[in-house]
Structure 1
Amino acid sequence: MNETSRQVPEPRTRAAYRRQLAVIISLCLVLLTATSTVILTRGINYQLADVSKTYQLIQQASKTLLLVTNMETSQRGYLLTLERSYLDLYYAASLSIDESMSRLASMARGNPPQEERVREIEALTTQIQGGVRQTVQLAVEGQLGKALEDIRSDKGKMDQLRETIRNFMDEEDRRLIQRNDKIDRTRDWLTIASLAALTSAVMLAYSLLSRVQRYVRLLSEGQSALLSENVLLEERVQERTAELENARAVAERERRRVEVLLQDSNHRIGNSLATVSSLLSLQLREATNENARRVLIAARDRVQTISTAHRRLRLGDDLETVRADEFLQAVVEDITTALVPGGRIKFETAFAPLNLNARDVTTIGIILGELVTNAVKHAFPDNREGIVSISFGRGEDGVLELAVADDGVGQGKGKGKRGKRQGLGMLVIEQLCLQFGDAPHYSNNGDAGTRAVIRFPSLEVRG
């Protein structure tokens, strides 16, 4: 029983071994045939290139002979007729003969017998060309008889040149016939190699087909298992996606709630500061001392400026940044409404559309409020009309800067002396500017007025 069990697998093992051996032999035959085909194909390509070169050599030799013949013919025509038109053909042939000989010598390089013939052709051509040139020169000088004698004496050189070129072309024709015979034999071998490759390919295809069928069956079984796993995976992905959507919805609600709270906080702060400003206005009515009134007025205006900045603050989608141009324009409009109700002072603004940190924008708004308030109060005394120009953006060196210029009375000419260190307002501006790494710069604005420039070297643009 045990002996039988050992003998049963033996035919299957031998069959599998034979199949493997057949596949290996087929592959080797295919590779061998492919290699032979490549070698034979490259040989045919080389032979075709050699044939093409032979044809070119024959054509170039014929062209050289034609040029020499044209040169001689034009010489004879000129001597017989003395017409200048024959000289044009002579000159054209003379100009082309050297180039034609150079190309012929280059194409024959590598074949010693043909190189020798080319040198002989070149020597004969040079002699004939010199003789033709001499006879033409004699005819041009009027020595026609001498020129005709030279032609009769040089007649054999042209026949010798034709014979040499004919031998050259016959040799190339002989070599061409040999190459064509070799190509025919190579083509026969290539046909045999192709048939062998086809036979090997059929054997290999049959062997591979049986293997592919087995692999396809296994692949089908694996695909069924994969589809079941894919269904389970899609269910888990859908569950996870639903969880993420819920989490995103919760996060979005929280973000909106925080945004509302921040906006509400800014409005509450602004309203509280507005209330403080109103209380200071009430206290101002009770004050009789002029110094106390000035202090209360200054305090009220600054509180009003800060209140305006907070009420006008509109945060972006990230809840951290603010559009500088929109915010500063709103601050200027509020200050204009509060301080210049009659419109005697006009405001020209140019703000760059930049996204800045909300805290930095609030500080810049306070600085702007102080500068504009100072210009309105001191640059235009006695209800004088004028223009205040305000800009915010990058300067020539790329640093952000705020500029406030007026065409008023200028520094030191208005009431209260406008100057660099005047009052609490200038002190507030200087302290706030230190946060950005610079100090305010004041200068005359042309013939009249004052210009204040605040630079912000450390201020960063967001987005």
Structure 2
Amino acid sequence: MNVRVLYLDDDPAIVRLVQKALGRNGHSVIHAEDLDSALALLAEDRFDAIVLDHYLQAMTGHDVLARLRGEGVTLPVVYVTGSNEAQVAIDAIKAGASDYVIKTVDGDFLPLLTSAIEQSVDNARLRAEKARAEEEIRLGKERAEALLAEVNHRVANSLALVASLIRLQIANARNDEIKAELAETQARITAIAGMHRSLYTSHDVSRVDLNIYTAHLVNELASSLANPEKKIDVRVEADPIVLKSDRAVSIGMIVTELVTNAFKYAYPERSDGEIRVRLKQVAEDRALLTVEDDGVGINPAAAPKGTGLGSRIIKSMAASLGDGLSYDETGHGTLARVPITLG
């Protein structure tokens, strides 16, 4: 390893000794007597390290070190000071020097200085390689996230197209039962498409902001399930919880099924009503999803209406999120509770 050293010292005799000692190890030493000369050499040539003596004619090494850092010079600096001035060297380390050597009259000074220079250069190179590797990792992560965002975008668009095709099928269907089943399928596809849309519009392509996702999902459900003969008001309150995409899908499917059921069964004899969707963080690692209405109520033990697929979806996904689905006795209406373990 050939190291090019800029030695800043106003004592040329010391510099000549250092030049000979480092030259025997294959290193080059260029002398600068003052800061201006050092800055000029740094601008014109390439160096691997700087050796800086504390005592100079017009300033101290501390002053020089501050100017070097102010000029954007990031080369490792080995600080040299007298034998009774260890605190001066320690202050230099705090100010950004990479190492220090105490100047002595015995034969240890030159070997210690050579070792300090070589170690400082090695450490600087390792830091530079680490920074380059981290930058490559960062760029690779950005490329992967951009690709994943594009994938989520295309998946969301494809699912939206499928939902549109189902909507056309609903319009052409003659059987009300088939229409209802197709509408439920469309709502489930819309829930998954919304999750992918949240991913490609988010700063983190692996996690979903549940408050944004839930609000968008419920609004889309309310629009798709709207009945001109009934005015059902859907309200959403959601805390800013961030969750992995696979768990967000489960929450979206549960919300879809519960809200759809409330639209279909909560207010059979009324022309208006309200459905309330709440997602609240109740502890550091737990949240609670509730869907509530003021309708006719539900008997949890009763056989499910229709095919029962929606009930099976809710129970399976609620169990995967935490303690499963339960219904509270409210005296009127239905209150579905789904505890969620965060993580």
Residue in structure 2 matched with residue 455 of structure 1 by the alignment: 339
Matches within 5 A, 1:184-195: none
Greater shift, 389-398 or 356-365, is seen at 389-398
Report Cα offsets for 1:187-239 as digits up to 9, x if no partner.
xxxxxxxxxxxxxxxxxxxxxxxxx9xxx985654233322332222322332
Cα distance, 1:404 vs structure 2: 0.5
- Aligned AA (1:454): V
Q: Note closer, same or farther for the CA distance 1:280–1:318 as it changes in structure 2 (3 Å cut).
A: closer
Q: Alignment partner of 1:312: what SS?
A: helix
Q: CA deviation at 1:288?
A: 2.1
Aligned partners of 2:303, 2:328: CA distance in 1, in Å? 10
Is 2:144 the partner of 1:224?
A: no
**Are 2:319 and 1:434 aligned?**
yes
Give the drift of 1:452: 0.9
Does structure 2 retain, via aligned residues, the 8 Å contact 1:309–1:366? no
- Please name the residue that 2:261 is paired with: 374
Q: Give the one of 142, 157, 160 matched to 1:274.
A: 160
Shift in Å at residue 372 of structure 1? 1.4
Distance 2:109 2:284 in 1: 66
Higher helix share: 1
- The whole-number CA distance in structure 2 between the counterparts of 1:269 and 1:225 is 65
Give distance in 2, aligned partners of 1:229 and 1:389. Answer: 72
Q: Please list the CA deviations of residues 279-318 of structure 1 after superposition, one character each: whole Å capped at 9, or x if unmatched.
A: 2122223322333323222222222222222222368777
Q: Which of the numbers 265, 278, 286 marks the counterpart of 2:151?
A: 265
Question: Does the Cα contact within 8 Å between 2:191 and 2:249 map onto a contact in 1?
Answer: no
Long gaps (5+) in structure 1: 1-211
Equivalent position to 2:210, from 302, 324, 337: 324
Whole-Å separation in 2 of the counterparts to 1:350 and 1:306: 20
Tell me, in whole angstroms, the C-alpha distance in 2 between the residues paired with 1:434 and 1:261. Answer: 32
From the superposition, tell whether residues 224 and 398 of structure 1 become closer, same or farther in structure 2 (CA, over 3 Å): closer
Q: Which runs of 5 or more residues in structure 2 are unaligned? A: 1-83, 85-101
The structural deviation recorded for 1:344 is 3.7
| Contact 1:344/1:383 (8 A) holds in 2 | no
Q: Deviations over 1:319-357 (max 9, x none)?
A: 543333333233223323433498943333332333322
Query: Where in structure 2 are the equivalents of 1:187-266 lying within 5 Å?
Result: 221-266=107-152
Q: Do the aligned partners of residues 327 and 274 (structure 1) sit closer, same or farther apart at CA in structure 2, a change above 3 Å counting?
A: same
Greater share of strand residues, 1 or 2? 2
Matched with 1:346 is 233
TM-score normalised per structure 2: 0.59
User: Which of these two proteins has the greater Rg computed from alpha carbons?
Assistant: 1
**Structure-1 separation of matches of 2:103 and 2:140:** 55
> Could you state the TM-score of these two structures normalised by the residue count of structure 1?
0.45
Shift of 1:240: 2.3
Cα distance in 2 for partners of 1:341, 1:268 equals 31
In structure 2, the partner of 1:295 is 181
SS of corresponding position for 2:255: helix
Give secondary structure in 2 for the equivalent of 1:452.
strand
